[in-house]
Amino acid sequence: MSAFNAIKSGDDVDRDDYTPAVEPQPTWCPGCGDFAVLKALKGAMADIGKDPEETLLVTGIGCSGKMSSYFDSYGFHAIHGRTLPLARAAKMANHDLEVVAAGGDGDGYGIGGNHFMHTARENHDMTYIVFNNEVFGLTKGQSSPTSPKGHKSKTQMKGVAKDPVRPLSLALSAGASYIARTAAVNPNQAQEIVAEAIEHDGFAHVDFLTQCPTWNKDARQYVPYIDVQDSEDYDFDVTDRREAAEMMHQTEQELYEGTVLTGRYYVDENRRTYQEEKQMREEMPESPVAERYFDDSVEWERSYDLLDRHM
């Protein structure tokens, strides 16, 4: 008998089950793209039928980090850039949990870039949504890792001298096994992609373009967008790493030239998840470690039995 009965409860859920009854109204600015991420996540969870209490949503710091306040599940509003280590460890402690991490582009591609690379490399079975608005919103408009070259802000008066980070290419070379980009202005595609990402067995990275109407007024609102799967102008195989890499590169480039490309970029269904890799090596038990503490039949090991080597 499990100590965690919300897990695989099979209870019917709809999107409203994810809306908190207390303080349901997000504090984001009117027109903010973040609303669309929340909506897509609620919809995707309901589509898949995940119980709010078998779900752990780990968020970072910034406007995006507040999503865990407006999404009614177990939540951990962590510190800037550290969502991924927190989320992946929770997954290893109890691998039956549905774990989703979310944060901004500064959080994921800047301060948490090292964790992004390593979590992707390990291919944990979890989802990472990056709210990419190309600017630091909550600190009032400084240039971010994805701001276009030349972007002017109070801390970059003469325009950013750096090339922006390439999020999709970065995820691919680091080892993510599902990589997609969607946009706030494309709610149907967003919900589908988020659902696919959650259902994917492995590390799923969704770069979610979220317009910032307050600090990025001059930027595109990410319309019109093109779905690369729907358009006849683009033809590539999402399971082919080389073709995916090329398409990603083009997509990242064209965003700064005014064309908003979205869709699925890379899907590898064959790569083993980190949990599977560890279990194959007998480095991780078959049933969740967290269950052990509630299982009276467990015989706890003692250091006393390790002492032969010390005699």
Partner 1 sequence: MFAADRSSLSEIFIIFQCYSMANDLGPGSLNFGVTVRTRTEVTMTQDELIWRIAGGSGDGIDSTSQNFTKALMRYGLHVITHRHYPSRIRGGHTYVEVRAGAEPVKSRGDGFNFLLALGDSFARNPQEKAVYGDEEVKPLTENLDELNEGGVIIYDTGVLEPEEFPDLEARAEENDWHLYPIDLRSIAREYGRDVMRNTAGVGATAALLDMPLGPIEELMSEAMSGDILEANLKVLEDAHEMVLEMDHTHDLEIPQNEHDEDQVLISGSHAIAYAAIDEGCRFVSGYPMTPWTDVFTILSQELENMGGVAEQVEDEIAAATMAIGASHAGVKALSGSSGGGFSLMSEPLGMAEMTETPVVLVEAMRAGPSTGLPTKTEQADLEHVLYTSQGDSNRVVFAPANAEEAYEQTRRAFRLAYEYQLPAIVLYDDKMTGEYRNLPKSFFDREPNPDPGSVVTEADLEDLPHDAGGRYERFQTDIEGSVSPRSLPGQRGGRFLATGNEHWPDGQISEDPTNRVLQMDRRVGKLDAIRADLDEEDSFNTHLGDADADFGVLTWGSQQGTVEEAIDRLADRGVAVKALGVSEMMPMRMDEVREFIESVDQVLIVEMNATAQFKGLLQKEFGAYAEKLSSLLKYNGNPFEPAEIVEAIEIEMDGGEAEPTAQTTLRRAAGD
**Which parts of this chain interact with partner 1 (CB under 8 A)?**
3-7, 9, 20-24, 52-56, 58, 61, 66, 68-69, 72-79, 82, 84-94, 96-97, 114-115, 117-118, 278, 282-285, 289-290, 292-294, 298, 300-304, 306-307, 310-311
d(CA 110, CA 40): 24
Q: Where do the DSSP E strands lie in the chain?
A: 55-59, 74-77, 98-104, 126-132, 135-136, 142-143, 178-183, 203-209, 225-227, 260-267
- Closer CB to partner 1, 161 or 306, in the complex: 306
Nearer to partner 1, 148 or 175 (CB): 175
Query: Minimum distance from CB of 296 to partner 1 (Å)?
Result: 11
Q: Compute the distance between CA of residue 121 and CA of residue 177 in angstroms, rounded to an integer.
A: 9
Residue 75 contacts residue 59 (beta carbons within 8 Å): yes
Q: How far is the CB of 67 from partner 1 (least distance, A)?
A: 11
Q: Which residue has the tokens 């039928």?
A: 49
| Residue with Cβ nearer partner 1 (113 or 187) | 113
- Closest separation between CB of residue 23 and partner 1, Å? 6
Closest distance to partner 1 from the beta carbon of 62 (Å): 12
Q: Least distance from C-beta 104 to partner 1, angstroms?
A: 16
Minimum CB–partner distance for residue 281 and partner 1 (Å): 8
| Cα separations in angstroms, 40 against 44, 113, 252 | 6, 25, 23
103: three-class secondary structure by DSSP? strand
β strands within 105-227, DSSP E:
126-132, 135-136, 142-143, 178-183, 203-209, 225-227
**Nearer Cβ to partner 1 (75/145):** 75
The distance of closest approach from Cβ of residue 127 to partner 1 in the complex, given in angstroms and rounded to an integer, is 15
Nearer of residues 9 and 259 to partner 1, judged by Cβ: 9
Tokens 């269950």 label which residue?
291
Query: Is-cis flag, bond preceding 224, omega within 30?
Result: yes
Least Cα distance to 70 among 95, 94, 47, 42 occurs for 42
Q: How far is the CB of 197 from partner 1 (least distance, A)?
A: 20
- Of the pair 55, 127, the CB lying nearest partner 1 is at 55
CB 81 within 8 A of CB 60: yes
Q: Which is nearer to partner 1, 257 or 301 (CB)?
A: 301
- Compute the distance between CA of residue 189 and CA of residue 191 in angstroms, rounded to an integer: 6
**Comparison of 27 and 239: residue with beta carbon closer to partner 1:** 27
Token couple for 31: 């027109």
